[in-house]
Structure formats: structure tokens, C-alpha cells
Structure 1
Amino acid sequence: MEFAILTGPILTLTFMIVQTSLVWYAHSVALGAATQGANATRLYGASPATGDAEAQRFLDQIGPALTDTTVTTRITGDRVEVVVTGEAQSVLPWMTFHVRQSASGPIERWIP
């Protein structure tokens, strides 16, 4: 009888721990992709398409940590910003967890 009473809370706690881990991992992957994209775009003479491609390549190599991903690279003045958005994998089909991470940095430039 005690096992039947404790099974529900134990399963709920287990699913909460697994879901928290999946969301944390998705945030980490999105930040890694944004950083890779920003580093590629910061190079002298690189275009925003370079950052998009590098971030997407990173996401493709990692696997299905994020779904419905979008990579946006913006260059404003002498800075670049790469934003990666997506949804974390979910243990429960009726819950979605949106992830958004960004990385930025100065663009390399030639100063004589």
C-alpha cells in the first residue's frame, strides 16, 4: 500500500529532474551554437551568413537537443550578435520550453 502511495510523487519528481536536465542542456547547446556563430562572424571580412552557417553546423553536429531552431546574426557598427532560439526536448508532449541564447563580440578590424 505504501508503495502505491509513493509511486506517483516519485515518478513526478523523476520526470521533473529529467525535464530540468533537458532544458539546461538545451540552453547550453544554444549558447554554444551562438558562440560559435559569433566567433566565425567576428573574423575580418566575414559576413552574417558565415555566423548563421557556423551556428547551424554546430547544431547539426550536436543532434536533437533543440528543435525548431532559428539562428539570427546581426552586425551593428563594429559588433556582431548571434541569437539562437528553439525548443528544448520535452518529456511531456503537452509542454514546450522555449530557449533563447545570444553571444556577441567586437568585429576584427585592420588598424595600420
Structure 2
Amino acid sequence: MRTHHALRRALRRRLDAVHGDSGVGRRGRSDDRGMSAIEFVFLTPLFFAVIFITVQFAMYYFADHIAVAAARAGAREGAEQVKVTAQWREQARSKSRWYIDQMGGSLLSGARPLPTLDDNTVTMTVTGSVPPVVPWIHLHVRAVSSSPVERFVPDGAP
């Protein structure tokens, strides 16, 4: 009879080890029911926060790329039109706005293109904000691009 109980205990220990229970430090069986629900309650908000923050910064980088592309396009357009027409500023702004609308205008809200002319260089500055996914994170983008104004220089002129 003793051998039978010893074999049963050995078999139970072997099966517990297979299921991941080494039996070290335990007397009898404890009840772990409900632990996964408690872990789920504590970890789920953390996982959602990480996901939302990741999406927020992905939107920021995409909006930054939109602002850079719009600033480059506006600066090129302004540099081409500055010697041709007096409305070069409005044409440069409309080119920047067109780029913003085409590439994803909803990701760059309140976009303001501002062209300036300094020493035969057209500079376009595009500013805007990223719509918030996480309420306490407010991100703004700013891109600056410059383009030289093409002009004719005769031979021998300085």
C-alpha cells in the first residue's frame, strides 16, 4: 500500500512539473483563480496608452513631412514668380496650401504658409498643429525652406 501512495505522489509531482508547477515552496495547492483578471485590469490601460502615444507621434512625423514638402513647393513657386508677377506671395501660398491639401490636410490643422523675400532668396515658412489623439499632448510643426531667385547676370558682371 505504501508503494502505491509513493507512486501516486511521484506521478502527481511529475504531472505538476509538466504543467509548469515545480512544487518548490508550496505546501498543498493554492488557488490562483482571478489573478489573470487583476493583471488584465492593471495592464490594459498601460497598453492603450502606449498605442495612443505611438499613433500621436506617427501623426506628428507625417505632419512634419507634409509641412516640409509644402514649404519647399511654396519656396520654389515664389522664386519662379517673384520677377514675373506682383502677386508672387499669393501664388506661393496657394502652392503650399495645395500641397497640404493633397498630402493630408486634416493632419496639419491651422496651417499657415508665410513667404518672405530677402536678398534674392524666397523663404517659405509653414506652421501648423497636429490634431491630438492623446488629450494632454499638443504638438506643433514648423518647416522652413529657401530658394534662390533666378536672375540674369551678364558676362563679366560681378
Does TM-score exceed 0.5, indicating one fold?
Answer: yes
Letter in 1 for 2:99: F
Alignment match of 1:58 (pick from 88, 99, 105): 99
1:67 match: 109
Pairwise CA RMSD: 1.5
Q: What is the Cα deviation at residue 96 of structure 1?
A: 2.2
Q: Deviations over 1:44-69 (max 9, x none)?
A: 62522221111011112223111111
Which moves more between the two structures, 43-52 or 27-36?
Answer: 43-52
Greater strand fraction, Structure 1 or Structure 2: 1
Percentage identity across paired residues of the two chains: 29
- What is the TM-score normalised by the length of structure 1? 0.90
Higher gyration radius (CA): 2
CA contact (8 A) 1:74 1:82 kept: yes
Structure 2 residue 68 is matched with structure 1 residue 31: yes
Structure 2 residue 49 is matched with structure 1 residue 22: no
Which consecutive residues of structure 2, in runs of 5 or more, have no partner in the other structure?
A: 1-37
Which consecutive residues of structure 1, in runs of 5 or more, have no partner in the other structure?
A: none
Count of aligned residue pairs for this structure pair: 112
Which moves more between the two structures, 38-47 or 79-88?
Answer: 38-47
Q: What is the Cα deviation at residue 94 of structure 1?
A: 4.7
- What is the TM-score normalised by the length of structure 2? 0.66
CA contact (8 A) 1:29 1:59 kept: yes
Runs of 4 or more off by more than 3 Å in structure 1? none
